Amino acid sequence: MAKVVVLGAGISGHTAVMVLRKKLGKKHEVIMVSPNSNYQWIPSNIWVGIGQMKPKQVIFPLAPVYKRKGVNFKQAIAKTIFPEGDTAITNPFVEIEYVEEGKKGQKEKVEYDYLINATGPKLNFAATEGLGPDGHTVSVCTYGHAAHAWEKLQESLDKMAKGDKQRFVIGTGHPMATCQGAAFEYALNVAFEINKRKLMHLAEITWITNEYELGDFGMGGAFIKKGGYVTSTKIFTESIMAEYGIKWIKRAGVKKVEEGVIHYETLDGEESTIEFDFSMLIPGFAGVGINAKNKNGDDISAELFAPNGFLKVDADYTPKDFDNWSIKDWPSTYQSPKYENIFACGIAFAPPHSISKPFKSKKGTPIFPTPPRTGMPSGVMGKVVALNVAESVKSGKTSVKHKASMGKMGAACIVSSGYGLRDGMAATMTVYPVVPDFEKYPEWGRDLGYTVGEPGLAGHWMKLFMHYMFIYKAKALPGWSLIPE
Amino acid sequence: MIRKPIAKGYKDEDYPPIPTRTNRFMRKFWPYQIIRFFVLNLKIMRIIVGGHS
Ligand SMILES: Cc1cc2nc3c(=O)[nH]c(=O)nc-3n(C[C@H](O)[C@H](O)[C@H](O)COP(=O)(O)OP(=O)(O)OC[C@H]3O[C@@H](n4cnc5c(N)ncnc54)[C@H](O)[C@@H]3O)c2cc1C
């Protein structure tokens, strides 16, 4: 009997655990360690943040699903990995701490044959003074944050209804933050809601971003066919912003937030401020802070994890100039080079470098987006890792024949505003591959047949459809495995 | 759709392309959007399936 432990019931880890359960017989144990009792479909948090959905519509309890499927669920936080065991236990194990009522604070050593780390990001609000729900801005990164954002947004909408002007600032809250797509979507939704109430004349909406140009999205932008031209996503994104009445500040690294004031530095080294009444800024991401120790109890975290806290996998981490970057640097099996029975998928793996060109301001501050690992690639990685682990368990020998590199994978980002079948509008963006491949596509870096930017109701329907479809899939209801990641 | 009247230019937000009335109509025209719904779904399916082995 083998024991497979998955850390983190997010898009990537939940996919992995369900695939493992499907592929492995009941004699093998599949364990999920995750602190939240609920699964959350994060993309729909945007709708929670504008009051179109209640938090309960984007979540469901995990325990009944795992019970039905035979997954051993431990509502806990993974603290330390012991890949070689310790002086008392010879098998590898992970030390966890329960957060579940009744067991809170209890520790346990969970042994494993294979370990999959899918713990996603730590929302690093602390890296920017005054940022986040405990500071002066709101967030939509969790359903709790999104519900709080809606409360704050309502206060501004109420003030506008009484005739007061309001300033909205939405974007990235750290010089190296990623997830621009989510912030962009929220900005459009806020504009849509204000316009719906016919209050646009009282609103000043500003998009603040660390991107060199709008439409970079941490992927170095993309090129799409539009109106008889191949145009950049810069034009596409700026056009949407202008249409929605949103101004922008680009190449800006937010460094500090005070009550009603954001301090930022731009690439030309200038320090500026912008005042706000309502602000939603995405924090920087880091690894969740899991440690690693060897048999003797010495800290080996630096051997397993990159300095940003994400787990090192089969990527080429050799520092290289931007011009020498290649899709070959990107991992495809997500296996730790140090321990062959440890894997990391989704946001938890350490990317070899950014996808966008790294820039430093005149004062030396790095201001550029780190690479996004969006939902679709995170799900695919979870599946591929689970398939390799399941086959390794069955054959008794570790093998990694299933592969999925971000240099060969596509991603879809649907930025949708409004709600309902007739009311909404979306900008659908797909890129293929995520990491541009200038060897295969020398001119544009990507396949122009599958790299698309298109506004319209169709994308909005897709977003709604995906909400119900992916929650159905995550609940492991009949036919779930036929729904793609 | 929501654009405020601007005519004088000289600000970043005054230069991007703005959709014409026909373009805006097509974005909401159900028969066309139903076709686009299937086309976009097919493209996404293709990039998911092609993305891993
Ligand atoms: C508002 C918003 C909108 C988005 N919209 C889209 C979209 O439209 N399309 C798209 O493709 N992507 C979208 N994304 C990105 C997408 O949500 C992420 O790419 C995806 O959630 C990453 O999956 P993951 O499993 O790696 O991490 P997560 O989903 O963050 O899951 C990580 C899990 O690990 C758990 N965990 C954390 N620490 C520990 C620990 N120490 N031990 C055990 N478990 C732990 C967490 O509780 C969580 O359950 C959006 C993101 C946001 C914030």
Degrees, nearest 5: CA angle A447-A453-A459: 120
* Amino acid B45: pLDDT: 85
Rounded to an integer, what distance in angstroms lies between the CA atom of residue A448 and that of residue A16?
Answer: 31
Confidence (pLDDT) at A422: 77
Of B14, B16, B19, the CB nearest to A235: B16
* pLDDT over threshold 80, residue B3: no
Please state, in angstroms and rounded to a whole number, the distance separating the CA atoms of residues A324 and A386.
32
In three-state secondary structure terms, A264 is strand
Q: Is the pLDDT of residue B12 over 90?
A: no
Three-class secondary structure of residue A401 per DSSP: coil
Distance from A200 to chain B by nearest Cα, in Å? Answer: 8
What domain count does chain A have?
1
A131 Cβ closer than 6 Å to some ligand 1 atom? no
Confidence grade of residue B52 (pLDDT, cut at 50, 70, 90): low
pLDDT of residue B53: 64
Most ligand 1 atoms within 8 A of CB, residue of A14, A17, A42 to mutate: A42
- Provide the β-strand partners of residue A305: A311
Cα separation of A41 and A375, whole Å? Answer: 10
Ligand 1 centroid distance, CA of A344 (Å): 14
At residue A44, the pLDDT reads: 95
Q: What does the DSSP assignment read for A244-255?
A: TTEEEE-SEEEE
Report if residue A186 sits inside a domain. Answer: no
Antiparallel, parallel or unpaired: β A291-292 and A76-82: parallel
Q: Is A203 in the pocket of ligand 1 (CB under 6 A)?
A: no
Grade residue B5 by pLDDT with cuts at 50, 70 and 90: low
Question: What integer pLDDT is reported at residue B46 of this predicted model?
Answer: 84
Residue B7 has a pLDDT of 57
Element (H or E) spanning A20, and its range? helix A11-23
* Average pLDDT, consecutive stretches of 10 residues, N- to C-terminus, chain A (485 residues): 97 98 94 97 96 96 97 98 96 97 95 98 98 98 98 98 98 96 95 94 97 96 93 95 94 98 97 98 97 97 97 97 94 98 98 97 96 93 97 94 94 82 84 94 94 92 92 94 85
The answer to whether position A139 is within a domain reads no
Q: What spacing in Å lies between the alpha carbon of A1 and ligand 1's midpoint? A: 31
Distance of alpha carbon A304 from alpha carbon A452, whole angstroms? 37
CATH number, position A328: 3.50.50.100
Q: Do A243 and B45 touch (CB under 8 A)?
A: no
pLDDT at B8: 63
Sign of CA dihedral A136, A142, A144, A146: positive
Predicted local distance difference test score (pLDDT) of residue B14: 84
With respect to residue A26, please indicate whether it lies within any of the assigned structural domains: yes
Q: Distance from A459 to chain B by nearest Cα, in Å? A: 7
Q: What is the DSSP string of A285-323?
A: EE----EEB-TTS-B-HHHHB-TTSPBP-SS------GG
Pocket mutation for ligand 1, best pick of A110, A184, A378, A417 (most atoms within 8 Å of C-beta)? A378
* Residue having the nearest C-alpha atom to atom 23 of ligand 1: A11
A282 in Cβ contact with A128 (< 8 Å): no
Question: Residue A200: how many CA atoms within 13 Å on its side-chain side?
Answer: 17
Amino acid in the structure at residue A143: Y
| pLDDT given at position A227 | 86
Put simply, the answer to whether B13 touches A248 (Cβ < 8 Å) is yes
Gap between the Cα atoms of B3 and A475, Å rounded: 41
CB B48 within 8 A of CB A484: yes
| Tokens 């501004």, residue located | A156
Taking CA atoms, what residue in B is nearest to A190? B2
Buried b (16+ CB within 10 A) or exposed e, A363-393: eebebbbbbbbbbbbbbbbbbbbbbbbbbbb
Ligand 1 lined by A346 (C-beta under 6 Å): yes
Domain membership flag for residue A255: no
Q: Is residue A436 part of a domain?
A: no
- Quick one: residue A422, left, alpha or beta (phi over 0 = left, psi -120 to 50 = alpha)? alpha
Residue A239 lies in a domain: no
**Which is nearest to A29 in space by CA: A63, A6, A11?**
A6
pLDDT at residue B2 is higher than 70 = no
Domain assignment of residue A67, yes or no: yes
What is the residue range of A365's domain?
A: 3-123+285-395
Q: What are phi and psi of A257, to 5 degrees?
A: -125, 130
On whether residue A243 sits in a domain, the answer given is no
Residue ranges in A350-452 assigned as alpha helix (H): 375-395
Q: What's the CA dihedral at A478, A401, A466, A454 to 10 degrees? A: -150
